[in-house]
Amino acid sequence: MTKHKVHPDDAFAAKPPILLVGSQRSGTTFLGKMLSMAEDVAYWIEPRHVWTRGNAYRPDQRLTAEHVTPRIRMRIRQAFADYAGTKRFCEKTPSNCLRLLFIHEVIPEARILLILRDGRSVMRSTGEIMNEGVAVSRVLERARQTPLTEWPAFFGQAISTLTRRVTNRPLKYWGMKPPGWKAWAKLPRDEMLAHQWAAGMTIALDDAEAIGPDNIMMFRYEDLVLDPESVGKQIATFTGLGEDSSFVTHIIKESNPSSIHKWRDDLDRDTLDTLRPILEPTLTRMGYQW
């Protein structure tokens, strides 16, 4: 995409950016693709290196407003404004569910979409990815994007991911890294994934409440795919795309609710009973029933 030097304050005031966040495997890829089809949208898939530059060596992915410096703020805003040019900027970075206060401080004009999904579905789908491994092309692309000064923070994980892919071994850990993730990585996989999701989404929900509904819209993936017209129009109105946006047409056409209950077949009852104390408080807070 051709880069256009524009002033982010002017660009974002005229066309507030759309920032899509949620845990891994929560539907961000699907929704991001639908948003990318809207008129006048410049969509960037997971520019995590832009968000984390200057904070890459932290022990986890949690960032708050306290981690924003004038230089970091200016650099992120300019990168996104340049990418979008005259269009409305849109991106999805799942791990930003741990950085909501940070991204709101950096781009207060943004319309943030926080997509929620049943943690049992997220666990099942994350386990699938851990078994299959991450595409080599994705690892190499992330390496290409990472500034040389931050390679040491990225190199170890990249080598481990590539090695396990080549040797057909499951990943030891994948997805968001809330505070405490290193301790959970030593637990049995299902327990680790339960802690990862519950902790990450608790942080996201707390931060979303602090930001307020004028700047952030929360909705459930299940509601989106079961009633794409209604939820799609709400999203279009909130983001400023408008109810007549082609985004609504595309999401009605492409939504498929067939996967929302796969966890019922893949997670056995004993496992769920063990994980219930970890998962249920956050599930209840998000409106799900055990």
pLDDT digits (tens, 9 = 90+) for 30-65: 999 999 999 999 999 999 999 998 998 999 999 999
Residue 276 sits in a domain of what CATH number? Answer: 3.40.50.300
Arithmetic mean of pLDDT over the chain: 93
- Model confidence pLDDT, tens digit, residues 78-105: 999 999 999 999 999 999 999 999 999 9
Domain for residue 155, yes or no?
Answer: no
Domain for residue 167, yes or no?
Answer: no
Separation of CA 265 from chain center = 26
Domain for residue 253, yes or no?
Answer: yes
pLDDT tier for residue 152 given thresholds of 50, 70 and 90: confident
Strand partners, 218: 114
Give residue 89's domain range: 8-120+203-285
- Model confidence pLDDT, tens digit, residues 242-258: 999 999 999 999 999 99
Percent of the chain at pLDDT exceeding 90: 82
Domain for residue 141, yes or no?
Answer: no
Domain for residue 100, yes or no?
Answer: yes
Domain for residue 35, yes or no?
Answer: yes
Domain for residue 132, yes or no?
Answer: no
pLDDT of residue 3: 52
pLDDT of residue 268: 93
Q: Which long-range contacts (CB under 8 A, 24 or more apart) does 248-254 make?
A: 250/34, 250/37, 250/38, 251/31, 251/34, 251/224, 252/228, 254/30, 254/33, 254/34
pLDDT of residue 269: 94
Domain for residue 276, yes or no?
Answer: yes
Q: Total structural domains in the chain?
A: 1
Which has more pLDDT, 197 or 163?
A: 197
